[in-house]
Amino acid sequence: RTTRNSFVLSCHDTHCDWRIYAKELSTCGYYTIKKAQLNHTCPLDLRDQYKTKATSKVIAHVYRSRYGEPNDGPKAAQLQQLVLEDLRVSASYMKCHRAKEKAVDITVGNAEDSYLNLAAYFERLKQ
């Protein structure tokens, strides 16, 4: 379960008690764990029956935290291999490509926002 400023992680097995509740810190955007039940009550073989996936947003945040300048980081194909090695998650080439674009947008900003600010920039130049 995820809300705007908190999330709950739980085991894939519905009968298992493993849960983590985290809430966003208002000052920095990081999350703090409020409650955690870290003991699995399900068998080990049931935990491996689901596939691990990561969204491009998650990959973008990992990518951004690891490489300060997005243009200095790896290309999408290299990022795909790094995600597999580091996070042990398989991600498609396009997902890694979108993640890199999102990391650049987060760091530098996107072209649409820059275009919307162009009129205000011209007014400042006139002044």
Provide mean pLDDT across the span 34-51: 74
- Cβ atoms of 68 and 75 within 8 Å: the answer is no
pTM: 0.49
The contacts of residue 49 (CB under 8 Å, 6+ apart) are 12
Calculate the average pLDDT of the chain: 80
pLDDT of residue 24: 86
Q: Is the pLDDT of residue 49 over 60?
A: no
Amino acid type, 16: C
**HEC per residue, the chain:** CECCCEEEEECCCCCCCCEEEEEECCCCCCEEEEEEECCCCCCHHHHCCCCCCCCHHHHHHHHHHHCCCHHHCCCHHHHHHHHHHHHCCCCCHHHHHHHHHHHHHHHHCCHHHHHHCHHHHHHHHHC
Q: How confident is the model at residue 4 (pLDDT cuts 50, 70, 90)?
A: confident
Q: How confident is the model at residue 17 (pLDDT cuts 50, 70, 90)?
A: confident
Q: Is the pLDDT of residue 46 over 70?
A: no
CA 2/CA 96 separation, integer angstroms: 23
Q: Which residues pair with 35 in a beta bridge?
A: 21
Q: Which tokens is 118 given? A: 């162009």
pLDDT of residue 5: 82
pLDDT digits (tens, 9 = 90+) for 77-116: 888 888 877 777 778 889 888 888 888 887 777 778 888 8
pLDDT digits (tens, 9 = 90+) for 57-75: 878 877 777 776 666 778 8
